[in-house]
Amino acid sequence: MQILFEDYYLLAINKPAGLSSESGRERHPSAEQEALMYFTKQLQEKSTSKRLKATPYLQAVHRLDRPASGILLFAKTKTALVNLMEQFEKREVEKIYWAVVEKQPPTESGKLLHWLKKDAEGRKAVISEKQVRDSQRCELEYKTLEMKGKNWLIEVRPATGRFHQIRAQLAYIGCPIAGDTLYGGHFWKDHQIKLHARSLQFKHPKTGETMTVESPPGEEW
């Protein structure tokens, strides 16, 4: 597990594709479990606080889809968690993703505005042009960076954080993400797609300082 940033309040890691963000009922491993094991070991080796050693606190601030990779932020205190979650809710966090898509986007750059809802099974996002019952507004901007073989590398800046938003919106315009078989892409690797959380900008929950955490995608891209 690659540590991108760490202090008393925060832990930022580069989540590998294939790991869930949070621990849940699924039997597959999670980044939260991996991070907690790391944090607990650090406390046992370095901390003098018996309370922290007995009950280490570490919570994921946001989520990344299991098949995606990239920056995942954890809070080490409840106060930090509340502060950071408020920043995400108020859309004060700047998120930048890189995605490899299987078709050239219709324009070199653009803005996508749709309405999104989950399907009946809750496994997939359904996109529509107009608002329908139980749908949520979803918005993102994209920019084509370069051609990669038969695919295209694009930068994506989501303004909202809906379920499977980037994957579903890009697939809706005919540009599925490489490896994303759920949305029409061709198979790449088990439980992996070429979607990577490249950069995260937010304010430190204690100091208020603007922070930028970055992580390039793996070499296999």
User: Cα 164 from chain centroid?
Assistant: 10
Q: What is the pLDDT along the chain (221 residues), one digit of tens a residue?
A: 799 999 999 999 999 999 999 876 566 679 988 888 888 888 777 766 666 656 789 999 999 999 999 999 999 999 999 999 999 999 999 999 999 999 999 999 999 999 999 999 999 999 999 999 999 999 999 999 999 999 999 999 999 999 999 999 999 999 999 999 999 999 999 999 999 999 999 999 999 999 999 999 988 88
65 is catalytic: yes
Euclidean distance between CA atoms 29 and 20, whole angstroms: 7
Give the tokens for residue 11: 């832990």
How many CA within 13 A on the CB side of residue 168?
A: 23
CA distance 183 to 32: 26
Cβ–Cβ < 8 Å for 158, 116: no
Q: Say if residues 105 and 175 touch (Cβ distance below 8 Å).
A: yes
pLDDT score, position 153: 98
Give the CB-side neighbour count of residue 220, counting CA atoms within 13 A.
Answer: 12
Give the tens place of pLDDT for each residue, 55-95.
789 999 999 999 999 999 999 999 999 999 999 999 999 99
Please give the pLDDT value at position 25: 59
Q: Which residues of 135-162 are buried (b: 16+ CB within 10 A; e: fewer)?
A: beebbbebebeeeeeebbbbbbbbbeeb
User: Residue 26: its pLDDT value, please?
Assistant: 60
Predicted pLDDT of residue 220: 84
This prediction's pTM: 0.92
d(CA 99, CA 144): 10
Residue-level pLDDT at 135: 97
Cα distances from 191 to residues 68, 144, 147, 161, 183, in angstroms, run 8, 25, 24, 21, 13
**Measured distance CA(167)–CA(177) in Å, rounded:** 7
Taking the C-alpha atoms of residue 106 and residue 108, their distance in angstroms, rounded to an integer, is: 7
Which of these is catalytic: 7, 65, 119, 134?
65
CATH topology of domain 2-214: Pseudouridine synthase (3.30.2350)
Taking the mean position of all CA atoms in its chain, how far away is CA 28? 18
